[in-house]
Amino acid sequence: MSPAWARAQSLVEEEIGDGVCVLRPQTNDVVVLNETAHAVWRVLAEPADEDLVVGVLADAYGIDAAQIRPDVARVLHDLAERGFLEEAPAGPPP
| Domain limits for position 50 | 4-82
- The pTM for the full model equals 0.87
In a domain, 73, yes or no: yes
For residue 28, what are the contacts with CB-CB under 8 A and spacing of at least 6?
none
CA dist 94 and 92 (Å) reads: 6
pLDDT digits (tens, 9 = 90+) for 62-92: 999 999 999 999 999 999 999 999 998 765 5
pLDDT digits (tens, 9 = 90+) for 9-64: 999 999 887 779 999 998 999 999 988 899 999 999 999 999 999 999 999 999 99
Number of domains in the chain: 1
In a domain, 94, yes or no: no
